[in-house]
Amino acid sequence: MSLNRILVLPFLVALASLIAVLPADAAEADDAQLSLRRQVSVADTTILLGDLFNGLDANRKLAATVVAYAPQPGRRAVFDAEWLGRLAYRLKLQWRPTSRLDRVIVERTSTVISSEHIIDALALELEHRGVEGKFDIELSNRNLLLHIDSEKPATIEIMNVTLDTRTERFHAVISVPAGDPQAQRFNVTGRIFSTIEVPVPARALRPSETIRSDDIEWRQVRAADIRNNMVTDAELIIGHEARRPLRAGVPVRLSDLRDPVTVAKGATVTMIYRTAAMILTATGRAKQSGSEGDVIRVINSQTEKTIDARILGPDRVEVISGEQVALAYGDGK
């Protein structure tokens, strides 16, 4: 049996009961050329002859003849050449199939209730039932879409919900549309995840760009996805520089950040050497960039010797190796 015939089989039964009540002397269509409409959308529960054929404008009574039940909202039915031929013969239409490829696809319009709508309704119900803190809901069927009559509103009523606090899995019965005596009921399952609000870049940030407070926004992240190096405090981001490109909306790791550069490579710096008895200073040139607290290589401008120094502030460094003092200061000048 062909796929088309399988799809229209329920409608053959429906047609038999509908055709039985048609007058035996159903008026013939005018001589105007009839043609198939090929693809049709209907909102009602039944399909009319005029939904299937063009050319019936002059005979509105015949065009309004009910010939089959419409598919369920959001679904479609295929009426093949054999089915259409029998219909035309029974109603004395001036039309016959020209090939086996003749067919009409009828789609029932619908009001769509998305998984996002269902999640929002479930979140309100769970909060009402005492589930504390921020949480994220994930449906077992992530692509769930419910189709109801297109004349009905996209409203949801939670009839019942049970939550296993150990596994954080839930089962709910929802009714759509809410409060409708003929509402449809559906079983929905899924899981809830505790979330934490973390700061994320509000825009893409380039390396070496200093991050300001207006560069930050907040986003809910599942607690299970929080890692030890993920930044959860905005104070650890604001005023720091991006070490690498940062994407908007993506949580930041500590390794993605660095303190602002206070000594640039090639900058002239003041070198300081301290002992209990004295403080010596000299002028040098930074061979590396760095932030406050970083250890960089510096060339003594007098001796051309290279030493290690820790950055104290803008263009100020402190010699950290006593062994290198002689190299740095030579004769003690």
Of 325 and 224, more confident: 224
Residues contacting residue 261 through CB under 8 Å, at least 6 positions apart = 208, 241, 289, 290, 291
For 95, other C-beta atoms within 10 Å of its C-beta total: 20
Residue-level pLDDT at 289: 86
**Do strands 53-54 and 35-36 pair parallel, antiparallel, or not at all (unpaired)?**
antiparallel
Residues contacting residue 175 through CB under 8 Å, at least 6 positions apart = 156, 157, 159, 183, 184, 185, 186
CATH code assigned to 197-258: 3.90.1210.10
Q: Are 36 and 84 in contact (CB under 8 A)?
A: yes
Q: How far apart are CA 255 and CA 222, in angstroms?
A: 21
Q: Could you give the residue range(s) of every CATH 2.30.30.760 domain in the chain?
A: 262-329
300-305: list long-range contacts, CB under 8 Å, 24+ apart.
300/271, 300/327, 300/328, 300/329, 301/268, 302/329, 302/330, 302/333, 303/327, 303/328, 303/329, 303/330, 305/330
For 172-197, how does the pLDDT look when each residue is reduced to its tens digit (9 = 90+)? Answer: 999 999 999 989 999 999 999 999 99
Q: How far apart are CA 295 and CA 292, in angstroms?
A: 9
Question: What SS3 class is residue 168?
Answer: coil
Q: Could you give the residue range(s) of every CATH 3.90.1210.10 domain in the chain?
A: 197-258
Q: How far apart are CA 203 and CA 192, in angstroms?
A: 29
Q: Are 136 and 193 in contact (CB under 8 A)?
A: yes
Give the mean pLDDT of 271-279: 86
The arrangement of secondary structure in 262-329, i.e. its CATH architecture, is Roll (2.30)
Residue-level pLDDT at 321: 65
Of 12 and 176, more confident: 176
* Residue 8 confidence class, pLDDT cut points 50, 70, 90: very low
Q: Is the pLDDT of residue 283 over 90?
A: yes
Q: CB burial class (10 A; 0-12, 13-18, 19+) of residue 190?
A: buried
For 125-152, how does the pLDDT look when each residue is reduced to its tens digit (9 = 90+)? Answer: 999 988 888 999 999 998 899 999 999 9
Residue-level pLDDT at 32: 56
Give the mean pLDDT of 5-10: 42
For 205-255, how does the pLDDT look when each residue is reduced to its tens digit (9 = 90+)? Answer: 999 898 999 999 999 999 888 888 999 999 999 999 998 999 999 999 999
For 19-63, how does the pLDDT look when each residue is reduced to its tens digit (9 = 90+)? Answer: 444 444 444 444 458 999 999 999 999 999 999 999 988 888 999
For 245-268, how does the pLDDT look when each residue is reduced to its tens digit (9 = 90+)? Answer: 999 999 999 999 988 888 989 999
Q: How far apart are CA 45 and CA 9, in angstroms?
A: 17
Crossing angle of the two packed helices 81-90 and 3-19, in degrees rounded to 10: 20
The residue with tokens 């619908």 is 110
